Structure formats: C-alpha cells, structure tokens
Amino acid sequence: MVVTEQDFDFVRLLVCDQAGIVLDAGKQYLVEARLGPLAKRHGLASITALLDRVRGARDLALRQEVVEAMTTNETTFFRDFEPFEALRKHVVPSLMAARAATRELRFWYGASSTGQEPYSVVMMLAEHFPALASWNVQHVATDINLDVLKRAREGRYTQSEINRGLPATYLVKYFEKQGLEWQLKPAVRERVRFEPINLVKPWPPLGAFDVVMLRNVMIYFDVPSKREILGRIRRVLRADGYFFLGGAESPLGLDDHFHRMPYDRAGCYCLGEASGTAQRGAA
C-alpha cells in the first residue's frame, strides 16, 4: 500500500506529538511497511482509509495502534555486551557496597521493548550475585508500546530471538521449552514489573533508582524531548546512581550533568564530577 504526501505528513505530526518520534523526510517506505499491514488487519483497503479513522482523534485505540506500529522494537538479549559487563564488573559491586545497610536496589528500563534487556540483567544478577537473593531488588520495565509489554510479560521467545545473544548456559538454566518457543521460568519473569510509560508525556511517580537504562530510544527523539527527558532522569536517578544510554546516544551537548564512566563502550554515565568516578568503581 502506498502512502500519499498528505498521509505521510499526518503520520509525522502524529508520532512526533504522541511519542516524540521524529520521522525524517524520505521515510515514506517505513510508513508503508508499518501501516500497510495494520490497515489490512483492520480490513481497510488503504493507508488513507486507516488514517481517516484516526483523524480528529475519532478512534483513540486505533490511534495508539498507529503510533505503536511506528515504533522500532529491535532488541536482543545482552545487546552490545559491554553494558552488562560494566554492570557485572563495576556498577553492581559498587552499589552493593554503597547499599549494604539498606540492602535495596532499584533498576528502571525506560524502553524495555519485548523484555530481553531487563531479563538479561535479572539472569546476570542471579548468576553472578547470589547474595542479592536476600536483598530487595526491584526491576521496573516500561515502554510506550502495549503490544511489546504484553509479549515481555509472557517472556516467550522464538528460537531466532534466543539465538541472538543468549548464552546457552542461560537457556538451559532459566528457560523452558513451550512448543516451538522458549519461555522464561516464572522465577525470572516475576522479578520484572512491566508497565506502560510514554517518555515524552508526564511520568507517574516512579521513586528513585540506582540504575536507569534508556538505551536505543533517544535516537528517535527531537532535541527538546531529549533535553527534557535527561532532566527528568536526573530527578529519578539517585545521586550515586548509574545511567546507561545506547551506543549511538550521548548526553553531550544536551545535558552537562552526566559524566561518562570509563567502562569500555558501555555507555554508562553518572551524575557529578568525573573525578569522583575513582571512588565509584571506575576501572
């Protein structure tokens, strides 16, 4: 199905307003690839017919479906590897020392997609930090897309999703076969609370976090949205907490309160002066 110029402009404004996502000129092919199948699923003959139902906010559920269809949910277990190594080698040991009195840790994954990112952390912690079993460790995972959140809660993955980044030892230990798919055991799934949160709209009260992962989502946002979100992250990140961005993302030139930690290519940042990193588990 083809997208007209008028429909393309409408979708660009809609996803920018609803999700902060900037759709560059020339991305008509993306709209066609994402909204064509959605129109078909609704028994509609064209993208125009689909958008006509959304125009003027006539069908809010369908509007959400259109916005969701335009999100990119690409993710893998242990994506990029280095962030998880930084957590294992530096961040978690340093936080366990700092929180020995309260024995409480809170993680937030702000664009968790189908759940591979939070579940990777849960499995890594179970594997390398058995002492945390007696701590109060909370994992809050959020996303704008209700469909990926549903899949994340189910914790079911195809063989090809499993093949992308999951060590075989983890598959054996933490998953069970369900037909052609693999499902995470309840003990892992129950550790993560999945909830819808739109990063560019007001956030509900979240409390304070020791670790915030906001990886591979800021790339889609415009500069004012990035600045606003980084400012809000500062308010939910504990003073000695750690913030992770994706490999192609940086707070540089957007917010000078974040300092990069020297953990290879982990994309890990802390608040405060970089000189303080020596006491914070810097390599």
Ligand X SMILES: C[S@@+](CC[C@H](N)C(=O)[O-])C[C@H]1O[C@@H](n2cnc3c(N)ncnc32)[C@H](O)[C@@H]1O
- Residues forming the site for ligand X (CB under 6 A): 19-21, 71-75, 79, 111, 113, 117, 143-145, 148, 198-200, 215-217, 220, 246
Q: Which is nearer to ligand X, 105 or 144 (CB)?
A: 144
Please state the closest distance from residue 74 (CB atom) to ligand X, in A: 5
Please state the closest distance from residue 201 (CB atom) to ligand X, in A: 8
Q: Which is nearer to ligand X, 94 or 216 (CB)?
A: 216
List the beta bridge partners of residue 243: 212, 269
- The answer to whether 116 and 81 are in contact (CB under 8 A) is no
Q: Which is nearer to ligand X, 93 or 165 (CB)?
A: 165
Please state the closest distance from residue 184 (CB atom) to ligand X, in A: 16
Q: Which is nearer to ligand X, 118 or 241 (CB)?
A: 118
Q: For residue 263, what are the contacts with CB-CB under 8 A and spacing of at least 6? A: 82, 85, 86, 89, 90, 282, 283
CA–CA distances in Å: residue 133 to residues 23, 129, 255, 262: 43, 8, 36, 29
Q: Which is nearer to ligand X, 215 or 280 (CB)?
A: 215
CA distance 47 to 166: 38
Please state the closest distance from residue 15 (CB atom) to ligand X, in A: 9
Please state the closest distance from residue 70 (CB atom) to ligand X, in A: 9
